[in-house]
Amino acid sequence: MRTGYGVAVLALALGAQAACAQPGPWNRVPSVTVVGNGADTRVALVQEAVAFWNRTLEEIDSAFRIGAVTQIERTIPEDAMQAASQMVLATQGRERPPTPDSIAAVPGDLLIFLAHSDFVSFAGPFDAAGRRILGIKGTRYPPMDLPNVARNVIAHELGHAIGMGHNADPALLMCGRPASCRPSEFRSDTPRMFPLSEAEKQRLLLLYPKDWRPR
């Protein structure tokens, strides 16, 4: 991607007038596209995160499931990822930026970009067609280089992509801003997924009840 493109995307995003709320529930089974280049251990972590959420949905007797995961090899639009991250932090997801061609061309409903640069990982409804984009920062940068952190960051952002918000409990998966929780708290020498609270499970069931059906 040419230099300065991400800055332009950010400027357009911050100038957008259309409000964009926290992602609501899906009305279809979303297909998942993982965008990466080269061998990337995070692809397996995406599969693990999808399995975690689908297992949780099954346990609470929800009819909703996240769909099949497809991996594609493509150059990551690093500038666009950094710009989108800044936009999310600046507006708390209330604005929807124009979707860069480098993202719009990717097939699928829920797009997960395994980036290599340094930014705050994010999830957002950045597509007028209802698709959602996750940007995952590079594993060379702290705290993504700590054991167990990338696993939970991916699951955390996937939680946002299906409609879950933040809480303020650092022992839980969905802890985040404005609370002081940061991804470094996911560090663990034993691979594990941080849990949801019972209240969050009830929230999930309200979003996706037993009689949920795709429309």
100-132 pLDDT, tens digit each: 777 888 999 999 999 999 999 999 877 778 899
CB 131 within 8 A of CB 19: no
Mean predicted confidence (pLDDT) in 155-164: 97
Tokens found for residue 88: 């999310």
* Residues with Cβ within 8 Å of residue 198, at least 6 apart in sequence: none
Structural domains for the chain: 21-207 (3.40.390.10)
Full-model pTM: 0.87
Percent of residues in the chain assigned helix, strand, coil, to nearest 5: 35, 15, 55
3 has a pLDDT exceeding 70: no
Burial 141-173 (b: 16+ CB within 10 A, else e): eebbeeebbbbbbbbbbbbbbbbbebbeeeebb
